[in-house]
Structure 1
Amino acid sequence: MDDLDTLKRNLGAALLAAREKAGLTQADVSSQVGIATAIYGRIERGQMLPSVPTLHRLCSTLHLSASELLGLGAGWPEQEAGIREADADLSAELLHLATLLRQLSPSELRCLAALASDIWRTRGPGKRSPPGD
């Protein structure tokens, strides 16, 4: 197996892990990235490599650095540490919610923001809901 096959396989595995962590389907990711689901599936299975613009959109959609996706290890240490720390705080549910929010219209987002603000005010600042709530 050559380096190109290894790169395809590793990139596909990284995409699969990130997609599952975010609670997304292949159709969700392909729709957000702007490619056919079958093409995304081939990339995730390690059968092909994405173009550079597609790679950029995949990183953005799945909240990964290109270094992580390409298996290059840490990039700029201080920048990578900040990204990892922020990502560690996000649960799969939050990533899934962020994905859904990107698909809403501005008026729908304002409505949802008002609802979230009302819930926050009712509960009180600084208080957290119990897990599973």
Structure 2
Amino acid sequence: MELEHLQKSLGEVCRTVRERLGLTQAQVAKQTCLAPEVYGRIERGGMMPSVPTLRKLALTLGISADVLLELSRTDVAATLAQPTPEGSLSPELRQFVRMLRGWSPGEVKRLIRVAKVLESPAEE
């Protein structure tokens, strides 16, 4: 996922949850030890918070950091005790899946087209 998209998404989630809780930007900023202007930039998708700030936001808003970062259970293991989602794949496939995570949707679509050609039986 691109940084700009992630910033916008994180900001939208923060705003939605903050409004649902009936809090102002200033209140969230104060509880997370941020300047109100800085928190406003995060909500507008203009800034990516640091990891400690992301943790404070998750705690203040009462929402999982997974939700803030758009991670699903198919993306990551829920606990340290669980295997990673690719745990049952071969090492080569795990490496390939990790590489694909950084690709754009367009790049993935092109790869799928190539894979379908490779999958079809060879004409003799």
Considering fraction of residues, name the structure with more helix.
Answer: 1
- Number of aligned residues: 76
- Give how far 1:76 is off: 2.3
Equivalent residue, structure 2, for 1:67: 66
For the residue of structure 1 that corresponds to 2:49, the secondary structure is coil
Amino acid at match of 2:78: W
Partner of 1:99: none
Which structure is larger by alpha-carbon Rg, 1 or 2? 2
Could you list the per-position Cα deviations for residues 84-117 of structure 1 after superposition, in whole angstroms to 9, with x for gaps in the alignment?
xxxxxxxxxxxxxxxxxxxxxxxxxxxxxxxxxx
What's the % identity of the aligned pairs? 47
Q: Which runs of 5+ in 1 are unaligned?
A: 78-133
CA–CA separation in structure 1 for the residues paired with 2:48 and 2:18:
17
Q: TM-score, normalised by structure 1?
A: 0.54
Match of 1:49, SS state, is: coil
- Deviation at residue 4 of structure 1 after TM alignment: 0.7
Give the letter for the 2:49 counterpart.
P
Q: Distance in 1 between matches of 2:13 and 2:3?
A: 15
Matched position secondary structure for 1:46: coil
Q: Tell me the residue number matched to 1:39.
A: 38
1:39-83 CA-partner distances (Å, limit 9, x unpaired): 000000000000111000000000010100111124629xxxxxx
2:78 counterpart (76, 79, 85)? 76
Superposed structure 1 runs of 4+ greater than 3 Å apart: none
Correspondence 1:80-119 to 2 at 5 A:
none
CA distance in 1, matches of 2:59, 2:65: 9
User: What does residue 8 of structure 1 align with?
Assistant: 7
What does residue 27 of structure 1 align with? Answer: 26
Q: TM-score, normalised by structure 2?
A: 0.58
